[in-house]
């Protein structure tokens, strides 16, 4: 069995490395020569804990190699589509980019092979690709399947290799027979459904999580004005059996990164196309955008005029465990603070170079303590574990004012009850 993983950004690199790690002969294919050249040297395009070592180990073992030559896909029994679907700043996905890339590969697909799609695409895309392939098949038969990705930036290898379940959409038993031995190496819980149900599952899951985030943040906003503590409300909700301990109801920052928003937009666009009224889904993005202003509003409320104020941002990346700044809340806050005339000093243990529009106006510090020197406020923008080592005792003589803005209560154990500190979290009474 040989597998070709097509599309080598985050999803593709993790998929290829984990498949090779499970013993499968794997080819990573991408048409961007620079990406392939770096991967051939064992360097993935972005940081993910353990990924570089996993790639290099499997390259040395001869189970994994990378290519920019699409004809190499003709040797594969499974071609796994793993493009990270591009999303613009308005959360609109460019599904056409992925569709065109897949159609370009049609001439190279082996007769009898299986095309497994995991890229985030609107329901109905797999069927459209099936129809497109029929026109280009030249007598070949290829099975199509869809399995929604379920990775987590910073914990992707664990998510891929030890999933609680895998959802796979298929149309024929032959496709299941090809895919099952591969997927069974990672879990014995595989849910086989129709292709359209698998596509819809991804939309519904991410829209549900997005709804949960915005719901709890709206509740927390009310808590701030009526004397309730959102943390206590959360605890009470989790004790309700109909909600449960694992519910996605922790008040905190707005969701970011594009993944949740992409599926919310897919569903709302499908609603428009089919003449449906979807008021709940239509309110998610506006609510989330409103909540995205929370850190800036809290700084303004507590410091007044921000011009000349020294603000320390701890964390810049989209999430801990990655180097990506794409759609990072920390970067968005930097832009707001720079526009307001604040002096911004930031620290992050893994962040890429800052975007050009703010690079000259945001100082980068080599340590968190240095960033906090004489700061009027500290903002916990990315929850890197090393920031939990900071204590009120350490920071008391360092900062000019003892103000910590921490949306997700990440440092509550140290600061929530520390004397002399103003510790502000989402849902804390004003």
pLDDT by position in tens, the chain (length 430): 999 999 999 999 999 999 999 999 999 999 999 999 999 999 999 889 999 999 999 999 999 999 999 999 999 999 999 998 887 777 777 889 999 999 999 999 999 999 999 999 999 999 999 999 999 998 999 999 999 988 888 899 999 999 999 999 999 999 999 999 999 999 999 999 999 999 999 999 999 999 999 999 999 999 999 999 999 999 999 999 999 999 999 999 998 867 899 999 999 999 999 999 999 999 999 999 999 999 999 999 999 999 999 999 999 998 898 888 888 899 999 999 999 999 999 999 999 899 999 999 999 999 999 999 999 999 999 999 999 999 999 999 999 999 999 999 999 999 999 999 999 999 988 7
Backbone torsions φ then ψ of 422, nearest 5 degrees: -105, 105
Asked if residue 262 lies in contact with residue 120, where contact means CB atoms within 8 angstroms, the answer is: yes
Q: How many domains does the chain have?
A: 3
Tell which residue, 107, 104, 129, 97, has the closest CA to residue 116: 129
- Which of the listed residues 193, 226, 255 is the one where a domain comes to its end? 193
CATH number, residue 379:
3.40.50.720
Q: Range of 262's domain?
A: 202-291
pTM above 0.95, yes or no: no
* CB neighbourhood size of 298 (10 A): 22
Question: Per DSSP, what are the bridge partners of residue 114?
Answer: 78, 143
CA 389, CA 401: separation in Å to the nearest integer? 20
Do 239 and 378 reside in the same domain of the chain? no
Backbone torsions φ then ψ of 296, nearest 5 degrees: -65, -40
Do 305 and 238 reside in the same domain of the chain? no
In a domain, 430, yes or no: no
- Please report which helix (H) or strand (E) contains residue 154, including its range: none
CATH number, residue 230:
1.10.1040.10
Token digits of residue 120: 């985030």
Asked if residue 73 lies in contact with residue 29, where contact means CB atoms within 8 angstroms, the answer is: yes
In a domain, 29, yes or no: yes
Do 26 and 165 reside in the same domain of the chain? yes
Asked if residue 78 lies in contact with residue 3, where contact means CB atoms within 8 angstroms, the answer is: yes
- Residue 380 burial by Cβ neighbours in a 10 Å radius (0-12, 13-18, 19+): buried
CA 122, CA 270: separation in Å to the nearest integer? 8
Tell which residue, 94, 90, 122, 156, has the closest CA to residue 327: 90
Report the largest interatomic distance among the alpha carbons of the chain, rounded to a whole angstrom.
76
Measured between alpha carbons, how far is residue 351 from residues 295, 333, 347, 406 in Å? 20, 15, 9, 19
Do 186 and 83 reside in the same domain of the chain? yes
């Amino acid at each position: 069995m040989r597998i070709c993983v097509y599309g080598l950004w985050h999803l593709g690199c993790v998929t290829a490395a984990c498949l090779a790690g499970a013993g499968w002969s794997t080819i990573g294919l991408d048409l961007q020569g620079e990406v392939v050249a770096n991967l051939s040297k064992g360097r993935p395009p972005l940081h993910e804990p353990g990924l570089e070592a996993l790639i290099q180990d499997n390259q040395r073992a001869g189970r994994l190699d990378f290519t920019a030559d699409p004809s190499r896909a003709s040797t594969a029994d499974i071609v796994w589509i793993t493009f990270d679907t591009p999303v613009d700043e308005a959360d609109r996905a460019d599904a056409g980019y992925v569709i065109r890339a897949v159609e370009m590969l049609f001439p190279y697909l082996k007769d009898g092979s299986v095309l497994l799609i995991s890229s985030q695409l609107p329901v109905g895309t797999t069927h459209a690709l099936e129809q497109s392939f029929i026109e280009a098949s030249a007598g070949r038969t290829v099975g199509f399947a869809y399995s929604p990705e379920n990775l987590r930036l910073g914990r992707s290898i664990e998510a891929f290799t030890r999933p609680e379940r895998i959802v796979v959409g298929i149309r024929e038993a032959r496709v299941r027979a090809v895919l099952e031995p591969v997927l069974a190496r990672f879990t014995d819980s595989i849910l086989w459904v129709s292709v359209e149900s698998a596509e819809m599952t991804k939309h519904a899951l991410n829209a549900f999580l997005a709804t949960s985030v915005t719901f709890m943040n709206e509740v927390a906003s009310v808590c701030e004005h009526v004397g309730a503590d959102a943390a206590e409300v959360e605890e009470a909700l989790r004790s309700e059996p109909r909600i449960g301990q694992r519910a996605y109801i922790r008040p905190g920052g707005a969701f970011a990164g594009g993944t949740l928003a992409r599926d919310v937009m897919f569903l709302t666009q499908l609603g428009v196309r089919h003449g449906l009224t979807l008021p709940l889904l239509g309110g998610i993005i506006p609510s989330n955008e409103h909540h995205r202003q929370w850190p800036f509003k809290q700084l303004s409320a507590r410091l007044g005029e921000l011009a000349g104020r020294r603000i320390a941002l701890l964390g810049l990346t989209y999430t801990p465990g990655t180097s990506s700044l794409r759609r990072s809340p920390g970067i968005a806050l930097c832009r707001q603070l720079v526009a307001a005339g604040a002096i911004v000093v930031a620290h992050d243990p893994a962040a890429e170079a800052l975007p050009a529009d703010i690079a000259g106006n945001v100082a980068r510090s080599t340590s968190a303590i240095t960033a906090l020197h004489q700061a009027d406020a500290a903002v916990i923008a990315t929850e890197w574990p090393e920031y939990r080592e900071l204590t009120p005792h350490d920071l008391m003589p360092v900062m000019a004012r003892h103000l910590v803005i921490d949306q997700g209560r990440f440092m509550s154990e140290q600061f929530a009850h520390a004397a002399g500190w103003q510790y502000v979290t989402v849902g804390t009474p004003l």
